[in-house]
Amino acid sequence: MGKGATTREAIVSQALDRAVQVGLSGLSLGPLADDLNLSKSGLFAHFKSKETLQLAVLQEAINRFTARVVEPGLRTPRGRARMELLIHRWFDWIEGEPGMRGCLFSVAAQEYDDRPGAIHDLLVGSQLQWQETLARMAADLPRGGPLPADMCQQVAFEVTGSVLAFQQQTKLFKAPKARAWAETAVARILDDAANAV
């Protein structure tokens, strides 16, 4: 891998760290360049525009989420085990990757839910895809047969709610019992789904 690709990766990685704290739209080139001992223009040369950098950062978060959460799930047997591993990994992701404080998706969702553009599209597309993955996994929960489609969406909705509440309790309130509450909530959701058919 050439020098250019190396520093580009370093830039995106550092920008991801920063974006979690100041937001994706709050990214600013100058301080980011200082972090990496780069000049602002030297950094900028790697991306034709700020939006390109933001898109790269968001895509990096998507890749990490896929590697850390989705793929391990697909390597686990279908059914409840897969679903539980997926959610467990998701909780870990919210608590923060090593050194990374928080979840970029939640931050960007608040910034770009009503701001049209490429960032909005990439964010919504990836999140929608994850939501559909969750629903697909929910179908395998009952032993008696596949869960109906509308109930799969309901499960995906409720699991997402547990994760979002977990994040609020963890990041905003610093509540020590957050994970316990979340696990309890998820267990009941999965139990109900498993016994629904």
Partner DNA sequence: GAGTTTTTAGCACGACCGGTCGTTTTGTCT
Partner DNA sequence: AGACAAAACGACCGGTCGTGCTAAAAACTC
Tell which residue, 23, 14, 15, has the closest CA to residue 123: 23
* CA 79 distance to own-chain centroid: 22
Positive or negative CA dihedral for 172, 32, 118, 134?
A: negative
Stretch that binds a second copy, among 17-25, 51-59, 63-71, 86-94 (CB under 8 A): 17-25
**Residues 168, 194, 196, 197: which binds a second copy (CB under 8 A)?**
168
Nearer to DNA, 39 or 63 (CB): 39
Minimum distance from residue 195 beta carbon to DNA (Å): 52
List 5, 67, 74, 128, residue binding a second copy (CB under 8 A): 128
Distances (CA, A) of 170 to 61, 161, 179: 20, 14, 8
- For the bound state, the minimum distance from the C-beta of residue 167 to a second copy, rounded and expressed in Å, comes to 8
In whole angstroms, the minimum distance from the beta carbon of 66 to a second copy comes to: 19
- Cα atoms in the Cβ-side hemisphere of radius 13 Å centred on 38: 21
121 scored as a contact of a second copy (CB under 8 A): no
Residue 69 burial by Cβ neighbours in a 10 Å radius (0-12, 13-18, 19+) = buried
Q: What residues make contact with a second copy under the rule CB under 8 A?
A: 21, 23, 25-26, 101-102, 106-107, 109-111, 113-115, 123-124, 127-128, 131, 153-154, 157-158, 160-166, 168-169, 171-173, 177-178, 181-182, 184-185, 188, 192
